[in-house]
Structure 1
Amino acid sequence: MNKCNVEISRAFLQKTKYSNTLFAISIFRPFSSTNVKILSQSFTTISSNPKSRTPNCKFLLSDHLKNQSLDEAREVLNKIPFPGVHLYTMMIDGYAQSYRLDDAMALFEKMPVRDTVSWNSMIKGCLHCGDLVTAKKLFDEMPGRNVVSWTTMVNGYLKFGKVEVAERLFFEMPARDVAAWNSMIYGYLKFGRVEEAMSLFRKMPNRNVISWTAMIGGLDYNGRSDEALVFFKKMVGCDVELSSSTFSCVLTACANVIALHLGVQTHGQIVKLGFCFDEFICASLLTFYANCKEMEYACKVFNEKLHGNVVIWTALLTGYGLNHRHESALMVFGDMIRMSVLPNQSSFTSALNSCSGLETLDRGKEIHAVAVKLGLEADAFVGNSLVVMYTVCGNVNDALAAFSSVDEKNIVSWNSIIVGCAQHGQGMWALTLFGRMIHAEVDPDEITFTGLLSACSHSGMLQKGRRFFEYISRYKSTAMKLQHYVCMVDVLGRSGKLEEAEELIKNMQVKANSTVWLALLGACRMHSNLEVAERAAKSILDLEPHCSAAYVLLSNLYASAGRWSDVSRMRVRMKQRGIVKQPGCSWVTVRGVRHEFVSGDKSHPFSEEIYQKLDWLGGKLKEFGYVPDERFALHDVEDEQKQEMLSYHSERLAIAFGLVTTAGGSAITVMKNLRVCGDCHSAIKLIAKIVGREIVVRDSTRFHHFKNGICSCGDYW
């Protein structure tokens, strides 16, 4: 075998990384047995040389670590006779990134020689795994710290919220580079210490693009978006080279303050510098235009390139939802599925929010099915959105099932289901869930207490409501908000404690607004108390002279009492002041299409069938002993006209439409913009019994579930 062939064989053996000796030698079968022997000796010589093996082992070790095959990587390391510090450090990093801190520490202690990089990697690994104590111990023992060591510990303390300790360590540093300054600025901003961050920024000897971007993003994060944009203008004036992160932060700030002109200018700069196809920039542009109500421009940005990134699709989906274009949002979600772009948690949250906006249960169930297929139904964000969607669409049982499926329930999960149960009049369920929440060691917040007080109000639990309100007043005074007073006035008012409710309003720690007085006025309407109602109405109109609800409620009270001259006086006053009563409207969604009705409406394509069904129901209602309650016919007309007016209220038209267009036995869900009247409430209970269906009606205050002649509210609403 000549010298040339030996060199070729050696090169080939190196290229194969010595993984299959027999295969390598077999390539040279045309050679004689003597030549094969020479090849074998060549391989032995190469493989026995640690310096020639190390580069290949390094590549193999790196591959295993990238694939998170840690045990295989360790086997490779163990086979190297004298691994260098760099290989040990690679393995330590691999263990730490996979949260195998004990293995990382054992290997670190086994190292024959440690350099600064290996110490820094071990400290960083401890912090990544949440072990601040060990990281601090290693830092204190470290023989030769560099600026990276100090910066790593500063970042570690900031990660654990120990801002003061990080601050002290930062000022103790013997030398600081730009990265160290940036870390401290970022930490200040993360924890809302904006003034300290600005002061430190001014003291920086040198700033880079990260310094400026941290300030812009941090100011925006802390609700100071206007100042963030001022910083951006200063940054441009300093000729700092802009990055994609800078543009993302600026666009977010523009979106938050609806700075359309500056955002459009920024968009132009993005195009000029060639950042327009950056996926995160694209998503930021979509969000910016959506916030500015410019969905046409958002669509243009989206259509400039065929995107496969879920973040960009989700930005468009969320933008449509933000602009109340829920049908378009759901079309985008459907297109994502067809384009094989797998939705993430944010995608599902936005799509389900649009289902809630449309109050379309069927579409929500379809999206729920997709979430189940992708294994995301147990995710907290998706699960919470499912709870809200089912609650809003009138299905509290499925809301409870969705809540139970969430693996790691957070405060939003608990609040969503407690508020949902309150809206559906399931007060005891709400209180039971609150008990489980406390047992799970989740601290309640102001939304939790609003839900609990609302549950007490809708379920007539006066004493429990009083105890909750007293608890908030005594132990959670910082959480006491105006809505808690509104709920407590509602609790007292619905229970007939009108004078006590009025006294509570007068002694509030915060100034009462019209909403609080409206809660009292609504209770007066329920209990026919004109004396308190007139005082409440006067207080409302003093605060808000054009409040139509106050005029309507007081006028209805006068009508119920037969005081028609006062009714006329109120109507004249409304006309003089240009106040228009909100018309009653009910709607029902059938096969994804929303059908709206107003009282006495005959314009619907199904009007003939609807009125035939109502006439049939009218006969059946009489058979069941139903007598119209004319107190709710709020016009001074003949009794026969009053009965006819009551029979054709908007909710009854919507129910009749549901009966003639949906399958027998299925539930019918009707939404109404005003409170359902007492006469309709009595009639719908009997209608549900007559047709053998569950009828769900959501009015302006709560959900009513009618079934077998009874309502879930227990006639208390």
Structure 2
Amino acid sequence: MLHAYAHNHRLREAIDLFRRIPSKDVVSWNSIIKGCLHCGDFVTARKLFDEMPQRTAVSWTTLFDGLLRVGIVDEAEALFWGMDPADRDVAAWNAMIHGYCSNGRVHDALRLFRRMPFRDVISWSSMIAGLDHNGESEQALVFFRDMVASVCKNVVVWTALVTGYGFNDKHREALEVFGEMMRTGVVPNESSFTSALNSCCGLEDLERGKVIHAVVVKMGLKSGGYVGGSLVVMYSKCGYICDAVYVFKGINEKSVVSWNSVIVGCAQHGCGMWALALFNQMLRERVDPDGITLTGLLSACSRSGMLQKARCFFRYFGQKRSVTLTIEHYASMVDVLGRCGELEEAEALVMSMPMKANSMAWLALLSACRKHSNLDVAERAANQIFEMEPDCSAAYVLLSNLYASSRRWAEVAWIRRKMKHNGVVKKPGSSWLTLKGRKHEFLSADRSHHLTEKIYQKLDWLGVKLKELGFVPDQQFALHDVETEQKEEMLSYHSERLAIAFGLLSTVEGSTITVMKNLRVCGDCHNAIKLMAKIVDREIVVRDSSRFHHFKNGICSCGDYW
């Protein structure tokens, strides 16, 4: 009852109840002190602590741990050293180390750690996490290796470190730890594999992911829900949707998370009919869809031009009591309408949303205006965005590109002056591919790569072959007021083309080339890459900010709709 009152911030009732207890044992005292700390009443907590007829190590630790959690470090420190040394157990030392690290005093934690008479797994883990969170990642790795020598091969410790690095976007370090774990002879569990595969996704390292997949198969874990779901995501995000679907089919117990992973993956690759078929199968197997399912379905409809299906899904989920439509769902529906050319209906939906529209919804509309060359709606959408986010570079760029494609160079110049005046910087377009664990990144007209000369020679050769097939550059995508010849040269050396040329030089004949791009691929590059894939007789996969494009035999999986 003491715990329940305190947990619900009814401290006065907890104290009244405590006072009425006829025979108060140490557990009662500790509970009420912990309750006071939970409710933020540190004065009463200390007063009760001082009144205790008998204290245990738990009593001391409860009080100074509570103080540390709110940054009262000096008083907690005094309490810690005021304990009877016989009561100062490993839990007390660990609490003090964790408190130091949480308050940014990592060097005090290090001094205390070195004075510990005995250390357990929690001592090491607290110190490693504290070093990492305070910007001492290299020192954390040293500590981890020291811990390996001190602690009898604990898979939980290894997995915690792999997971921790992954959560902090330190995927390379996470995979290094996972590799060391395997070499040390520690057998990974499902959580270990899941964390490692998530880091493969973060690095877009398909080769490493395949190696881990092979180990998963050998251990008989491929049909498990967690590992299977991570494999689905890994293959999908690295550009291999067929492999993702194949792995999904092998999962024995498919949760809603597994279904969502494969549906969203199919949507990203433009496999709209696959996504819908999987959704129907999901319903037949009596798995209840959620809000993420709807996001995946709307995305699939948007990338495949299935407007009526999207309307049905939006209406169906809107009537489900278990699903609450969010602003992300409305923005997705706006995207569907906009891509299908229903710009007025899309604008009306943004205006009639039950919540205030954010920049994401207006950006979806503005992007559709760029696709359908509708300046009137575009200007209204852009003005709404600028009111909410005056430094939104995406809105400036979309509007500028729309003016440029309409050859309204005065407005383009005005937009660029406004960006400069407001300190808004356009995100540079870049493309990259990962080979043998190394990321190779390119900017437009980039000449910094060690294979630059060969890359440009390959592009020039491809340019000749493109002309032989009748390819004519689409100059509306050269968004500068320059001469025709200069426009063609600018288009020829876009970042994705440089990455593709490097891929052709660096991979074996017949293999698939997978390129990632941070912005939307332009229409001219899209047309050129279709023919490039035919010229070199290879599949070229390009993931841009919108979707995956699979180019093969002169056509693209998107059907020129993206």
TM-score bracket, normalised by the shorter chain, equals 0.7 to 0.9
Q: 1:56-103 CA deviation, whole Å, 9 max, x = no partner?
A: xxxxxxxxxxxxxxxxxxxxxxxxxxxxxxxxxxxxxxxxxxxxxxxx
1:657-678 CA-to-partner distances (Å, cap 9, x unmatched) read: 1111111110000000100001
- Structure-2 residue corresponding to 1:500: 345
Paired residues, number = 518
Equivalent residue for 1:549? Answer: 394
User: CA distance change for structure 1 residues 676 and 438 in 2, over 3 Å: closer, same or farther?
Assistant: same
> 1:467 — aligned with what?
312
Higher RCO structure, 1 or 2 (CA under 8 Å, sep 6+): 2
* Rounded Cα–Cα distance in structure 1 between residues aligned with 2:38 and 2:135: 24
Please report how far the alpha carbon of residue 621 of structure 1 lies from its aligned counterpart in structure 2 after TM superposition.
1.3
Q: What SS does structure 2 have at the residue aligned with 1:261?
A: coil
Matching of residue 195 in structure 1 with residue 8 in structure 2: yes
**1:587 match: secondary structure:** strand
User: Where do residues 317-332 of structure 1 align in structure 2 (5 Å cutoff)?
Assistant: 317-332=162-177
1:588 to 428, 433, 439: 433
Distance 1:198 1:352, change over 3 A: farther
The answer to whether the aligner puts 1:259 opposite 2:102 as a matched pair is yes
3-state DSSP of counterpart to 1:475: coil
Q: Distance in 2 between matches of 1:209 and 1:244?
A: 23
Alignment partner, residue 36 of structure 1: none
Q: Given the alignment of the two structures, is residue 282 of structure 1 paired with residue 127 of structure 2, yes or no?
A: no
Which structure 2 residues correspond to residues 160-171 of structure 1 after superposition, within 5 A? none
Q: Report the CA distance between 1:345 and its aligned residue.
A: 1.8
**1:311-390, aligned counterparts within 5 Å?**
311-390=156-235
CA distance in 2, matches of 1:430, 1:670: 23
Structure 2 partner of 1:531? 376
Q: Is the Cα–Cα contact under 8 Å of residues 282 and 312 in structure 1 kept in the other structure?
A: no
Distance 1:398 1:536 in 2: 40
* 1:296 aligns with one of 129, 132, 138: 138
Name the counterpart of 1:439.
284
Structure 2: segments with no counterpart, 5+ residues: 19-23, 40-60, 69-75
Which 10-residue stretch deviates more, 383-392 or 647-656? 383-392
Taking a change above 3 Å as real, the CA distance of residues 262 and 443 of structure 1, as seen in their structure-2 partners, is: farther
Is contact 1:317-1:332 (8 Å) kept? Answer: yes
Aligned residue identity for 2:502? F
Q: Distance in 1 between matches of 2:173 and 2:373?
A: 46
Deviation at 1:392, TM superposition (A): 1.1
8 Å CA contact 1:291, 1:319 repeated in 2: no
For residues 481-504 of structure 1, the C-alpha deviation after alignment (integer angstroms, 9 at most, x for no partner) is 111111011010000011111111
Give secondary structure in 2 for the equivalent of 1:466.
helix
Q: Which has the larger radius of gyration?
A: 1
Aligned residue among 450, 457, 473 for 1:612 = 457
Deviating more after overlay: 552-561 vs 572-581: 572-581
Q: For residue 234 of structure 1, report the CA deviation from its aligned partner.
A: 6.0
1:292 to partner: Cα distance: 4.2
Distance 1:699 1:230, change over 3 A: farther
Structure 1 equivalent of residue 25 of structure 2 = 206
1:70 corresponds in structure 2 to none
State the alpha-carbon separation in 2 of the partners of residues 430 and 234 from structure 1.
52
Amino acid at match of 1:466: R
Map Cα deviations across residues 279-306 of structure 1 (whole Å, 9 max, x no partner): 2442344334434443234224323331
Task: Give the whole-Å Cα distance in 2 for the aligned partners of 1:661 and 1:365.
Answer: 19
Distance in 2 (CA, whole Å) between partners of 1:336 and 1:433 is 37
TM-score (norm 1): 0.67
Change (3 A) 1:517 1:300: same
Q: Please give the residue correspondences for 1:569-584 in structure 2 after superposition, counting only pairs within 5 Å.
A: 569-584=414-429
- 1:257-277 residue CA offsets vs partner (Å, 9 max, x unmatched): x8333777667666655452x
> What is the distance in 2 between the residues matched to 1:198 and 1:405?
53
Which stretch of the first structure deviates more once superposed, 609-618 or 540-549?
A: 609-618
Deviation at 1:415, TM superposition (A): 1.5
Whole-Å Cα distance in 2 between the matches of residues 244 and 197 of structure 1? Answer: 32
Partner amino acid for 2:66?
K
Conserved in 1, the CA contact under 8 Å of 2:193 and 2:216? yes
Q: Compute the displacement of 1:632 (Å).
A: 0.3
TM-score by length of 2: 0.84
Report how far residue 378 of structure 1 moved. Answer: 2.1
Q: Which moved more, 1:348-357 or 1:493-502?
A: 348-357
Matched-pair contact (CA < 8 Å) for 2:93–2:116: no
Tell me the secondary structure at the aligned position of residue 491 of structure 1.
Answer: helix
Structure 1's 285 and 448: CA in aligned 2 closer, same or farther, altered over 3 A?
farther
Which residue in the other structure is 2:301 paired with? 456
What secondary structure, in the 3-state scheme, does the structure 1 residue paired with 2:423 have? coil
Deviation of 1:195 (Å) = 0.9
Q: 1:199 to 1:557 in 2, by over 3 A?
A: same
2:66 paired with 1:233: yes
Tell me which amino acid in the other structure corresponds to 1:351. Answer: A
Over 3 Å counting, the alpha-carbon distance change for 1:521 and 1:282 in structure 2 is same
Measure the CA separation in 2 of the matches of 1:219 and 1:493: 50
1:708 is matched with which residue? 553
Residue by residue over 1:628-662, the C-alpha shift from the partner in whole angstroms, topping out at 9 and shown as x without a partner, is 11110001011111111111111011111111111
Map Cα deviations across residues 362-404 of structure 1 (whole Å, 9 max, x no partner): 0110111111222222222222211111111111111112222
- Equivalent residues of 1:692, 1:708 under 8 A apart: yes
Q: Percent identity?
A: 56
| AA in 1 matched with 2:286 | E
The 1-side partners of 2:223 and 2:95 are apart by 32
What amino acid maps onto 1:414 in structure 2? W
CA contact (8 A) 2:97 2:112 kept: no
Q: Distance in 2 between matches of 1:453 and 1:557?
A: 26
Give the whole-Å Cα distance in 2 for the aligned partners of 1:426 and 1:413.
Answer: 17
2:485 and 2:259 map into 1 onto residues whose CA distance is: 50
> What residue in structure 1 maps to residue 447 of structure 2?
602
- Aligned partners of 2:106, 2:8: CA distance in 1, in Å? 26
Tell me if the contact between 1:685 and 1:708 (Cα under 8 Å) persists in the aligned partners: yes
Cα displacement (A) at 1:569: 0.8
Q: CA deviation at 1:246?
A: 7.4
Contact 2:97/2:113 (CA < 8 Å) preserved in 1? no
Give the conservation status (yes or no) of the 8 Å contact 2:334–2:364: yes
Change (3 A) 1:716 1:297: same
Instruction: State the AA in 2 paired with 1:260.
Output: N
Larger CA deviation: 673-682 vs 410-419: 410-419
State whether residues 295 and 320 of structure 1, in contact with CA within 8 Å, keep that contact through their aligned partners in structure 2: no
- 498 and 266 in structure 1: CA distance in 2 versus 1, 3 angstrom threshold: same
**What's the Cα RMSD here?**
3.2
Q: Which amino acid aligns with 2:298?
A: L
Q: Which moved more, 1:470-479 or 1:379-388?
A: 470-479
Give the whole-Å Cα distance in 1 for the aligned partners of 2:397 and 2:502.
Answer: 28
- Confirm or deny: 8 A CA contact 1:290 1:322 kept in the other structure: no
Going from structure 1 to structure 2, the CA distance change for 1:309 and 1:477 (only over 3 Å counts) comes to: closer
How far the C-alpha of 1:603 sits from its partner, in A, is: 2.0
Q: d(CA) in 2 for partners of 1:250 and 1:416?
A: 41
CA contact (8 A) 1:674 1:700 kept: yes
Output the CA distance in 2 between the equivalents of 1:197 and 1:678: 63
Matched letter for residue 406 of structure 1: I
Q: Deviations over 1:583-640 (max 9, x none)?
A: 1100111222211111111221111211121111112112222111111000101111
1:660 aligns with 505
Match of 1:649 among 494, 503, 510: 494
Shift in alpha-carbon separation, 1:449–1:348, aligned structure 2, 3 A: same
Shift in Å at residue 705 of structure 1? 0.8
Q: Which letter does structure 2 place at the counterpart of 1:324?
A: D
| Aligned residue type for 1:511 | K
State yes or no: 1:625 paired with 2:458. no
CA distance in 2, matches of 1:611, 1:363: 30
